[in-house]
Amino acid sequence: MFSDFINQFWPASIDGLAFGSIYALIALGYTMVYGVLRLINFAHSEVFMIGTFGAMFVPFTLGIDSTLTGIALVGVILAMIVAGMLASAGTAIALEQVAYKPLRKRGASRLAALISAIGASIFLQELFALVVIPGVFDRPERGRIQMGLPRLMERSELFSIAGHPVRVDQVVVIIAAIGMMIALDALVNRTKIGRGIRATAQNPEAATLMGVDINNIVRMTFLIGGAMAGVAGALYLISYENTNYYIGFLFGIKAFTAAVLGGIGNLRGALVGGIVLGLVENYGAILVGSDWKHVISFTILILVLMFRPTGILGESLQQARA
């Protein structure tokens, strides 16, 4: 058992970092919405799912059926990321306007908003299971199938660590995810809209008196969180080359686990939680078998909620310095 762990440590670490980066990007949406509205947006998992389909639309539209190199590859990857961001951000804003804003205006309880989130999640899942998109979903099974993406880049070795290869796609996922997280951290901490988000999270009434447009801040929070999920969707698709209408379910729960693990409401906590979760579930899979991989993730969630509900970092978005 332990000899297997030693032999597979570096491959599992690289895979864990790649998966953890995707978890972290999705977790950012959970943690931002919770920080501002004290709401767990369970429909966020479907925002990620729609991001994968938005990104998939690009190579299907361009008719790509073979690997790319050079400028063409970079251009297609960027186009997929932008398409994923637009699809997910648009979905997130629509969710806020349709599923949450009417409840906020009526002063509904958080339980009502939570039920609305679950309903919206199921609706979006079933919508994409039924819809037909020419060139993407044009078979009788419609959306209830695994959709594959043609391989865009060669899975070639970029460099090696302790004799174990690190692939190009893994490096692309990790670097792109870290870059987006750094950009989001700078936006929240150094811009006017970021100050508005933190002020609203800390005290909505006082923020309103200071001239902050709460509705606009909430809308921007959903937009930014949705865009991060769209990036995650595009990166997942580039690396793992498949998607389906229920893919958001498992990734959504794991991203929520990452948000809780790092400290719900804490942007940097979402990053830490995602990376730690990706690594731990991969290490656990070596020790007890890959069939237990998902069990490990949910066991972590239960243990964190029982013994450290504030998470690893424990600081929420509302406590960040203005």
> Could you report the per-residue pLDDT of 194-213, keeping only the tens digit for each?
999 988 888 888 888 888 88
SS3 label, residue 192: helix
Domain ranges, ordered by start, for the chain: 24-149+166-248
The rounded mean pLDDT for the chain is: 86
The pLDDT of residue 54: 92
Mean pLDDT for the stretch of residues 95-116: 90
Number of Cβ within a 10 Å radius of residue 106: 8
Residue 10 backbone phi and psi in degrees, to 5: -70, -45
d(CA 28, CA 233): 13
Q: Is the pTM value of this prediction over 0.85?
A: yes
The pLDDT of residue 316: 52
Mean pLDDT for the stretch of residues 233-237: 93
Query: How many Å from the N-terminal Cα to the C-terminal Cα in the chain?
Result: 49
Number of Cβ within a 10 Å radius of residue 75: 13
Does the pLDDT at position 115 exceed 90? yes
Residue 95 backbone phi and psi in degrees, to 5: -60, -45
Per-residue pLDDT tens for 12-49? 899 999 999 999 999 999 999 998 888 889 999 999 99
Tokens of 154: 């060669």
The pLDDT of residue 68: 81
Mean pLDDT for the stretch of residues 84-104: 94
The pLDDT of residue 259: 92
Q: 98 and 119 in contact (C-beta within 8 Å)? A: no
Tokens of 26: 């999705």
Number of Cβ within a 10 Å radius of residue 256: 25
Q: 80 and 237 in contact (C-beta within 8 Å)? A: yes
The pLDDT of residue 322: 38
Give the least confident one: 1-10, 90-99, 209-218, 311-320: 311-320
Report which DSSP code applies to 148: E
β-bridge partners, 147: 243
